[in-house]
A and B are shown apart, each in its own frame.
Chain A
């Protein structure tokens, strides 16, 4: 009775605001410490795995550190690999906030790249930055249409977006092969069919002081901008309501269809930009190398970051560092290249498992402590 009376009466105003601050900080700490702890648990579990195959975890992690983060070259290596991953991860994380599991970002990447390559091929010689801007818009628009279509099919026809985006990625790769081997092929590209090489003014260079192209900066800016949009604007709030309870969103009169298609399109646009950056900054032409699995690596990063746009940045850098160390681990420890995939698998499972622990630690629930 006394407990119930307490609850009915509620805490005193001042104490109440105190405990809600504690509550917020408790949740923030939980949101950070749980995945971080899970990451450490995943690394520890992988160490046991290494011991059973007769390899030293200390050597392994010191090589990962050295090749991923230990020298200036290592950082250039890691950050170069990070650049496309951030944008690819956004393509998964943004729809995820609306409750959509889109895993076909690879399709938007390759088609964004082909569109950019075609723009550079058919409209060469534009003055100043016009060429780069045009390629940027072409890549973004193509990606937006591709993943926007996934959102539209989901809303209009109830087509499962996970399956449709994945299957559309296969269509996209086939379409890319057809285009670069057919209508968009540079006749001079004999044994590696490609679009015509881009002119100098269409190429994107490196960030000053780094051996990393501008795609990294664009990725970081995009992550921050999307975090602001999703966490700090009414549009983002509406999107999160759709993700939380689509019925409630409809009852409230939110434009659910527009939100779904719009956010999917923005997700696709980022993937398309990733493809465009590959063409303009790395390859200088569009060809089959565009389909190199960045879209799939993005899924892992988005899930590890728990679809938090800011968290994508450190998680992306961490996974890129793992990838950067893969070569040295093959060479020094005589382990197969799949080792890093196994490591990523351990970490992925550990972090997914940690989600089931959310809300189970008293430490992060100060109000429960207050009541007792």
Chain B
């Protein structure tokens, strides 16, 4: 009781002092209080501790914060409306931001494209890989990583761990990026055992905890014993799946603290590395390419450390495949292959490497995936 009172009194005094300080400060330094150097702004569509998409970017931002001469400004829960346009301009006007990372996919068109031409001295770096030279401003750049490879490695760990030969995937929306992840996850597992199937459930929303929990429970009810996902915040899926005793593979960020015993591995973004490189090249007076992509080898993605439940056989195949992906030119889709409605998607001898642009408009689920994209 007494300690409780003590804390609030202390914080009260702190507030009073701050009040006095702010009054004094605002009369001395009008406008921005930020020092010279590079001010870097980050905007997130959700909370930055969501154990997922936004946290992965926020971890990248945290790495940038440590660089000398960099001032970091952040805003979370910024909707993909006029709000994000004004938030970016607010960072430019009030904080003097010169490099902005609007991290949500939906920020690009029309929001970044609307704001960028008005602020030609500011660089906008968008995660999603949508930039094209003939259509978009020069002060906009886009970057993306081949995270499907990470889901393929997840699949290898899953393939060794499953006993029911049924693995499951909780997915947000049937769009190309998500379908590539689902297909990669199953094909990784099938490289262990071709009889494995993958049940997919689409929730229809990027962030809807209730549906994610329902979908995970539905998968567990059907005997699925390894589950991964592609939603903005995998926390609910991981905790629900682990609560049902299923193994889990992570996505976006490291979720091993949520299920320490059942977490096999996870496909993570390595934005800390990517953002550090980009910011350092700007600080050194250089520029960033408008169009950047990379995978495991380029340090755009990384794998969570293998969990305690991963067997030696799984570890060996995982490490060998990872090494071969690192060499470049690895293909997940190798012919002959059909989709799950019987259409041929790759002829014998045909294969699609990770860098193949046609993968970015993927509209099918491969044979062995139980579920429909439409």
**Contact residues of A with B, CB < 8 Å?**
50-59, 62, 66-67, 71, 73, 76-77, 80-81, 174, 177, 181-182, 190-193, 278, 282-284, 287-289, 292-293, 323-324, 326-328, 330-332, 336-337
Contacts and interface: CB of A to CB of B under 8 A. Distances in A.
Given A192-B109, A283-B110, 6 more contacts: A53-B11, A66-B94, A181-B173, A289-B79, A292-B81, A332-B33
A52 B26 contact: no
Given A62-B22, A181-B174, A337 B89 contact: no
B79 A62 contact: no
A224 B289 CA distance: 51
Contacts of A288: 106
Q: Which 3 A-B pairs have the closest CB atoms?
A: A59-B22, A56-B18, A54-B11
Nearest to A336: B76
A282 B82 contact: yes
B186 to A, nearest CB: 20
7 contacts: A59-B18, A181-B173, A191-B175, A191-B176, A324-B86, A330-B76, A331-B91
A59 B360 contact: no
Contact of A337 (B75, B91, B110): B75
Contacts of B95: 331
B323 to A, nearest CB: 30
A177 B10 CA distance: 50
Contact of B105 (A191, A283, A332): A191
B74 interface: yes
A155 B176 CA distance: 46
A321 to B, nearest CB: 12
B81 A278 contact: yes
B193 interface: no
A332 B91 CA distance: 11
B374 interface: yes
A110 to B, nearest CB: 12
B143 to A, nearest CB: 15
Nearest to A194: B109
B16 interface: yes
Contacts of A62: 22, 26
Contacts of A174: 204
B231 to A, nearest CB: 14
B91 A51 contact: no
Contacts of B94: 66-67, 328, 331
A327 B91 contact: yes
Contacts of A326: 75
B11 A330 contact: no
A229 to B, nearest CB: 29
Contact of B89 (A73, A292, A332): A73
A177 B204 CA distance: 8
B335 interface: no
Contacts of A328: 90, 94
Interface in B1-50: 8, 10-12, 14-16, 18-19, 21-23, 26, 33
B361 A190 contact: yes
Contacts of B374: 182
A190 B106 contact: no
Nearest to A337: B77
B174 A53 contact: no
A267 B170 CA distance: 39
Nearest to A60: B22
Contact of B12 (A51, A181, A324): A51
Nearest to B177: A191
Interface string B351-371: 000000000110000000000
Contacts of B361: 190
Contact of B26 (A57, A59, A80, A327): A59
A191 B128 contact: yes
B23 A77 contact: no
B82 to A, nearest CB: 5
